[in-house]
Amino acid sequence: MALIRNLLEFLIRIAILVVIIIILIPILLLAAYHLLGPTFPIEPSMLLDPSETLAFTLKLMDTDLFRITVFPGFTFVALYAAIAGLWERKLLAKMQLRVGPLYAGRFEGILQPIADVLKLLSKELVIPKVVDRFFYILAPLLTVIIATAAVAVIPVTDKWVIARSDVGVLVIFAVLGFFPITALMAAWSSNSRYPLLGGLRALHQMVSYEIPLILSALAPVVYAGSLNLIDIVRVQSSVWFILLAPVSAIVFLVCALAELERIPFDLPEAEPELVSGWLTEYGGMNFGLILGIAVYIKLYVLSALFTLLFLGGWLGPAFLPPEFWFILKSFIVTTLLLIPRGVFPRLRIDLLLKQSWARYLILALLNLLVAALVVLSGFSLR
């Protein structure tokens, strides 16, 4: 009897969901139509006539709406996040002689991300009574929003970019500067001790490693003489900046690891001491939004930025399309950022902070001054 009642309850909830979706989709379509309106002359006949389908699709692919929602925008990075998450689990499992996800999708657990999302969506949402509900719910949302805002200025090629900003590098660093705030927001609104300790550690760590990160990104900017990411890649057609500024590149990778709170710098989430750091009180899809989507979008942003600044972006031999080269290079950098998790132990917090200020800051400044001297001595790539 109880089983039937539970089943009925579940079916009613599904029905409510379907009704909401049916109401929402026309509203969203209408909004999209108005967003496209002036730049995109759409006629109902184009949708119905099969001979116009290709022309219609090509026209659609040339709009801002398509770029924001699909290719360099949200769908692409969400897919990249899912693939990077699965790749991380499989790679670490193989490094530690385990098997990793195995059953979902028959072949090597390839459908595991979908299974994870379905599980998180259907889990009971446990929110502790003492939390500050508004900010508790807002923190994961804001983390995803901020991570995706940084994607807007990253060019996959010179054609596939959402916002052609002249100050792209600065925009990305400005957006990255918001992450300590969301971490602290989640920690403070949880009203619990482990999250508070983890949040304060996250604040110190992200803030300390932001300075070397910014300064190491300045060396390529000095060589290229531009803050526009498309220009920076074009200048690298003869030589990649990783050869001209190798110390900056290494400092950038280390600081990216620290900004991402990955092992060896995962003190904010250190399991043996802090349970799960500033994420301790989160569960279900709230947790999934931060750890499943936002963190991996941030991983994509930092590896794409490394590719653009040091590895020549989409430049590569012509037998493959430039989009492929960009995604391949970003994925290799992502793998480089994932591997330390299977290799290194964790640092202590005072050593971690001291290392940032006493070593990486000085190294980044030295390489910056060397780059400035090289440019002042008359060396130019343009």
Partner 1 sequence: MGSDLLLILFTAAFAAAASVPMIIIPLIISPKKPTKPKEMQYECGQIPSGAGKMSLMMQYYAYLLMFVAFDVMSMFLFAWGLSIQTVGLNGFFVVVLFIGLLLVPLGFTLYHAGRREIW
**CB of 243 within 8 A of CB of 303?**
no
Closer residue to partner 1, CB minimum distance, 245 or 338: 245
Binding mask 277-296 for partner 1 (x = CB under 8 A): ---xx--xxx-xx---x---
Phi and psi at residue 135, to the nearest 5°: -75, -30
The one among 7, 8, 14, 47 contacting partner 1 by CB under 8 A? 14
User: In whole angstroms, how close is the CB of 101 to partner 1 at the nearest point?
Assistant: 21
User: In whole angstroms, how close is the CB of 192 to partner 1 at the nearest point?
Assistant: 4
Please tell me whether residue 227 binds partner 1 under the rule CB under 8 A: yes
DSSP 40: -
Closest CA to 38 of 61, 65, 56, 58: 65
The one among 221, 254, 263, 295 contacting partner 1 by CB under 8 A? 221
Please tell me whether residue 304 binds partner 1 under the rule CB under 8 A: no
Please tell me whether residue 370 binds partner 1 under the rule CB under 8 A: no
CB-based contacts of 61-66 (< 8 A; 24+ apart in sequence): 63/36, 63/39, 64/35, 64/39, 64/162, 65/32, 65/35, 65/36, 65/40
Taking CB under 8 A as the criterion, which residues in 314-353 touch partner 1? 349-350, 353
Stretch that binds partner 1, among 16-24, 81-89, 253-261, 262-270 (CB under 8 A): 16-24
Please tell me whether residue 359 binds partner 1 under the rule CB under 8 A: no
Stretch that binds partner 1, among 39-47, 52-60, 97-105, 207-215 (CB under 8 A): 207-215
Please tell me whether residue 79 binds partner 1 under the rule CB under 8 A: no
Taking CB under 8 A as the criterion, which residues in 228-267 touch partner 1? none
Query: What tokens were used for 335?
Result: 């793998």
Residue 65 has, within 13 A of its CA and on its CB side, a CA count of 17
| CB neighbour class for 122 (10 Å; exposed up to 12, middle 13-18, buried from 19) | exposed
Please tell me whether residue 197 binds partner 1 under the rule CB under 8 A: yes
Please tell me whether residue 141 binds partner 1 under the rule CB under 8 A: yes
Instruction: Report the C-alpha gap between 16 and 20 in whole angstroms.
Output: 6
Closer residue to partner 1, CB minimum distance, 94 or 382: 382
Please tell me whether residue 63 binds partner 1 under the rule CB under 8 A: no
Please tell me whether residue 379 binds partner 1 under the rule CB under 8 A: no
Spell out the SS3 assignment of 78-121.
Answer: HHHHHHHHHHHHHHHHHHCCCCCCCCCCCCCCCCHHHHHHHHHH
Binding mask 99-138 for partner 1 (x = CB under 8 A): ---------------------xxxxxxxxxxxx-----x-
Please tell me whether residue 153 binds partner 1 under the rule CB under 8 A: yes
- Cα-Cα-Cα-Cα torsion 244, 246, 249, 250, nearest 10 degrees, comes to 180
Please tell me whether residue 190 binds partner 1 under the rule CB under 8 A: yes
Instruction: Report the C-alpha gap between 288 and 89 in whole angstroms.
Output: 16
Stretch that binds partner 1, among 151-159, 303-311, 317-325, 328-336 (CB under 8 A): 151-159
